[in-house]
Amino acid sequence: MTSLLDPEELATDVLPAAVRLLGCTVEADTPDGTVAVRLVEVEAYRGADDPASHSYRGRTPRNAVMFGPPGRLYVYFVYGMHFCANVSCLDDGEAGAVLLRAGEVVSDLDVARRRRPTARRDADLARGPARLASLLGLTRERNGVDVTSAASPVRVLAGPRVPADRIVAGPRVGVASARDLPWRFSVAGSPAVSPYRPGRVRPATR
């Protein structure tokens, strides 16, 4: 049996934490059964020095999970439509999290297809952060759970490290601030990696 990811591996800066999460498996208990995906795309978000981060302006009730301890699931609602999920990192009290952007299903495909019947291909089942969260049932009820605990309804299993020559780094998707930082990491050649879409730069207001 694959072991759970050690929280100490996440008690580090967001960039190495993001790279470490690549190749790990996120396993979630859903009403349809256990669903699991191997992470193939992630994005790193830091704190006060990262204007694209939810924690940039400090702690709030919404972003409190980003401040630790490491290994907690941070789930938020976006565009009034979708949930997205992150895993906290850095030391307890420091803000940082890694957005789970895409994964390849490694559990029963029939169960996954029932949960995402609109997916045209199996590669689309968890391709993009909203689809991944939907497939795994990551809603507000899962916010704050410890993904490094065997008792958690959502768990991260430690996969083998992805070789450096198979990791692609690039700009984060859909953010307008700090848009050129190469803080998105993906596994080269995976069909589940989502396409790059730059964020809109809004005109200055007066």
Residue 147 has pLDDT above 90, yes or no: yes
Instruction: For residues 23 and 163, give the distance between their C-alpha atoms in angstroms, rounded to a whole number.
Output: 10
Does any domain span residue 1?
Answer: no
pLDDT-derived band at 201, boundaries 50, 70, 90: very low
Taking phi over 0 as left and psi of -120 to 50 as alpha, with beta for the rest, 128 belongs to left
CATH number assigned to the domain comprising residue 170? 3.10.300.10
Does any domain span residue 198?
Answer: no
Does any domain span residue 75?
Answer: yes
For residue 196, what pLDDT is reported?
A: 79
For residue 199, what pLDDT is reported?
A: 63
For residue 2, what pLDDT is reported?
A: 76
Does any domain span residue 203?
Answer: no
C-alpha neighbours within 13 Å on the C-beta side of residue 191: 7
Show the domain range for 27: 7-187
Stretch among 44-53, 103-112, 189-198 having the lowest mean pLDDT: 189-198
Residue with tokens 């964020």: 199
Instruction: For residues 180 and 73, give the distance between their C-alpha atoms in angstroms, rounded to a whole number.
Output: 26
Mean pLDDT to the nearest integer, 37-52: 94
Does any domain span residue 205?
Answer: no
Q: Total structural domains in the chain?
A: 1
Backbone angles phi, psi at 136, to 5 degrees: -90, 0
**pTM of the predicted structure, to 2 decimals:** 0.93
Q: Which of 139, 203, 154 is nearest to 39 (CA)?
A: 154
Q: What is the pLDDT of residues 117-138, one digit of tens each?
A: 999 999 999 999 999 999 999 9
Q: Which of 41, 27, 31 is nearest to 189 (CA)?
A: 41
Cis peptide before 69 (omega within 30 of 0): yes
Residue with tokens 């958690």: 152
Does any domain span residue 119?
Answer: yes
